[in-house]
Amino acid sequence: MKQNRILLIIGGGIAAYKCLDLVRRLREQGVSVRAVMTRAAAEFVTPLSVGALTNDRVFTDLFDLNDEREIGHIYLSREADLVIVAPATADLLAKMAGGHADDLASTILMATDKPVLVAPAMNPRMWLHPATQRNVKQLKNDGIHFVGPNVGEMAERDEAGPGRLAEVPEIIAAAEPHLANSPIARSVTPLHAKRPLTGRHVLVTSGPTHEPIDPVRYIANRSSGKQGHAIAQAAFALGARVTLVTGPVTLPDPEGIKTVHVETAQQMLEAVRRGLPADITVFAAAVADWRSATTSRQKIKKTGDRPVIDLVENPDILATVANLEAERPQHVIGFAAETHDVIAYAKKKLLAKGADWIVANDVSSTTRVLGGDNNAVHVVTPESVESWPQMSKDEVAERLMLRAAEHLRRTTAAAE
């Protein structure tokens, strides 16, 4: 990460003290950091402390005559490789979503043409408030990147839930792909440094499948489709042509992406086969392993006798595609949702299915992964296991697609 420049916008919240450690660790890796503080931020940490760590002046006032003459908010907004907002308060998120520019921080965020990474931190009820969630959705649609918030105890007594600032290593990990000299970016060909999947076709499955028992009942898995949809959007943002095959979800279809809606595992397999060939396939859908051998045309009524449902195994979509001869994708990625022995089961699945990678996660009731916005995954390959810290599903998707793009580049180069 050497020779990169970051503009850090520090919002007003108790978590602002963590930014001191963030600056210190970034500087240790050779990153140049300039800081902008809101007026509220100065109530929690002093500009003197921040400036001592950045070894630079700290900018606070939009109408400071000297700062505007020597630097200027437009220059500040564009000299850095990445803008990080941490902690991003509910007020800052609202200003960003609404396009406000009434102080130095919000004006810089309106004027920047560089990637913006936001690390929210606030009370759980403020984070879960419909207005905040509406603003977050808008910002994500606008291309703003998020890391966190994490779940845990708040500074206030007896307050717990989503709203803790992501840990410093998580913020740095989320920032790394956006920096020109990061290990990830350095490994990508210069022509497509920001869109390394240009010219590639990525096929993603998402959501659950519904296997009907009768007209009103079905067998399904607890999947929201958030991770699969995020992967499709990340691949599209990196330049790929994307086909998304999704089971029944409440999520909107991603813009610019061909989306195919299915209900059953058999329908999903057929849609995947029609979607091939592809360079990368990511099987993030929670496909039901079993279906009813027969489907009643009428609702099964209570008659006193317990109904018996004869189950038959569904097609294994991951294994089917991974073992194709003519149309096998160059890179096949499967998902493994486990409640215990996560890595051990993922390693077995990698061998059994013939996939190139397995992305494994813990979906036990304590993790709140199913239906939630965060995830912590292990990327299992034949050579290694890479465990990532908890981060938003959007960040998991982006990192996964960057890793896949680099893997594809290397394998293509080796074949040539």
Closest C-alpha to 46, from 16, 1, 73, 21: 16
Q: How far apart are CA 396 and CA 386, in angstroms?
A: 13
Q: How far apart are CA 406 and CA 416, in angstroms?
A: 15
Is the Cβ–Cβ distance between 140 and 146 less than 8 Å? yes
Is the Cβ–Cβ distance between 347 and 339 less than 8 Å? no
Closest C-alpha to 329, from 410, 285, 272: 272
Unique residue bearing structure tokens 């890391």: 147
Element (H, E) at 15: none
What the block records as the tokens of 56 is 């630079």
| Per annotation, catalytic residue among 221, 314, 361, 374 | 221
CB within 8 Å of 151: residues ≥ 6 apart: 160, 161, 162, 163, 164, 368, 374
Helices (H) and strands (E) in the chain, counts: 15, 22
DSSP-derived secondary structure letter, 208: B
User: Is position 221 annotated as part of the catalytic site?
Assistant: yes
Q: How far apart are CA 326 and CA 331, in angstroms?
A: 14
Determine how β-strand 241-246 pairs with β-strand 201-206: parallel
The residues carrying an active-site annotation are 221
